[in-house]
A and B are shown apart, each in its own frame.
Chain A
């Protein structure tokens, strides 16, 4: 009797496993790899950051949050965080401005649209390393007689007064080093906005025009409000790239203190100073900063999809 009750239940369970089991098996190699390379390694890094392994050969003894406490009160790290904030603001403002502007100019279709789109987007296919070679030269800080790069160009077009020392400027130099990144990623934001514009049905424009809306009102009250999900996606994608910035700064300025950000500081501490525990702590702080931005977004998109 009891057996008879239990069996069908087991069988049902077994058939369900039989249905989804093979699928789980098929993706298990990836799951194991991601589990190890992402989660286990984050765990290892965290463990390291909580230890006093300050040289390559020190043992990994647990010291709690000491490294973090030191780091967050350290002037140099605060300077790196401030730099990162300035860079991110400049980068986001630049990419959103040009991305939206180009999308507005292109969205109604224009002769040669494909060419414009392709050219605005092409810097994205180039590595920061290649781009850095030329931008290092363009952002040369010499002025006047010795001016090269953009400063020389400003002289040529008669805007001498705009010459400046670019990334070599204290504080605001960070905004200058965002220029190459803006050059590379504005096209991406444009592509996102363009897709957003094109997903709005034409009837809405017609309806607004029939109601007597001006072009400005059309954009302000009909089109832009519908782009807010796209704008949010663009801000988060561009924002998290910005927080991780490393390549372009390394290639243009190497380990110049002036433009140091957490990612370059971490490289410096790990490779040049050989302090794994401190480097791991810097990396963890960076991870936390990015996660604060990304995790809510992942949860949000996941929920939106379920609905």
Chain B
């Protein structure tokens, strides 16, 4: 499924030529419709941008949709001041957690697709279930387990452990689906040569794993960066990630709208950059969610 989605840019034009004359809805009207929806999807972005540049006094109901009469960076400065430290904490959380859960996922995916053991399919399903549960169902004992029993500091360390563990299912799924596409001959050949499991993994599988690593790393980075639920229960404004800081920045009764909107853009920037630069891999993680690989 991943493959079919990343390919169409090359595949689609081939179908166009043969059927161009027989369209019910012409390409022009389709294009206009698509443009219309593009504008609709962009509305929130427009509002974020223009509001973030408005001077503090200019947020009145009447001119909410107009461009700023005077462009200012005040909102951006306030937001940056408030979000700088949390942004750094989010980075310290999302990068290592994404790397660790990807490595674990790769090992699991290898074993569950290419080095199966009795009941390994059942084990796989049991692991997968972990990515669908509402995390509320583990939240109360989780807080105690992580911060009291395991004595891990609340804030980023506690969140790091949590995100690594709850990232295991999706990473395992992505790697398992990916490794299933590696020809069995390669593994058999290594086996005949007397390679053990670790050697097979390190020499044959790992060098081929880069595409799947890109997918899991992006997916994990994005979902950890954007997480709010775990952060709300396991951290505070002083030690939490950027999502917590942003809700506090925008949550007060006397909302500073320009700073909130600028803050929303700042908090979204890292994942948006990843999406813009590596979008096609992002979709790979997306498709894995449907379990079909």
Contacts and interface: CB of A to CB of B under 8 A. Distances in A.
A127 interface: yes
B250 interface: yes
A92 interface: no
A300 B230 CA distance: 30
Contacts of A147: 61
Contacts of A15: none
B226 A109 contact: no
Interface in A232-291: 233-234, 237, 240, 243-244, 246-247, 250-251, 254, 262-263, 266-267, 270, 276, 279-280, 282-284, 286-287, 290-291
Interface stretch (A65-73, A137-145, A170-178): A137-145
A130 B141 contact: no
A63 interface: no
Given A122-B272, A286-B134, A192 B64 contact: no
Contact of A195 (B5, B34, B47, B104): B5
Nearest to A295: B129
Q: Which of A42, A108, A297, A306 neighbours the largest number of chain B CB atoms within 10 Å of its CB?
A: A108
B87 interface: no
Contacts, number: 299
B134 A27 contact: no
B65 interface: yes
A207 interface: no
B80 interface: no
A283 B136 contact: yes
Nearest to A145: B61
Contact of B243 (A102, A129, A295): A129
Interface in A138-172: 138, 142, 145-149, 152-153, 156
Interface string B1-32: 10011011101111110110011110100110
B134 A30 contact: no
Given A41-B142, A129-B243, A130-B246, A195 B1 contact: yes
Q: Which of A38, A123, A145 neighbours the largest number of chain B CB atoms within 10 Å of its CB?
A: A38
A36 B145 contact: yes
B291 interface: yes
A205 B34 CA distance: 23
A125 B8 contact: no
A152 B141 contact: no
Interface in B171-207: 172, 196-198, 201
Contacts of B25: 215
Nearest to A188: B286
B225 interface: yes
A290 B135 CA distance: 11
B31 A110 contact: yes
Contacts of A136: 250
Interface in B95-132: 104, 107-108, 110-112, 115-118, 121, 123, 125-130, 132
A114 to B, nearest CB: 6
Interface in B251-293: 251, 257, 260-261, 263-265, 267-268, 271-272, 274-276, 279, 282-283, 286-287, 289-292
28 contacts: A22-B115, A23-B115, A23-B197, A27-B112, A34-B126, A34-B168, A37-B166, A44-B145, A45-B141, A106-B34, A108-B12, A108-B23, A110-B31, A113-B8, A116-B38, A120-B37, A128-B228, A129-B243, A129-B264, A133-B260, A133-B263, A134-B48, A136-B250, A146-B61, A148-B64, A233-B291, A254-B251, A302-B125
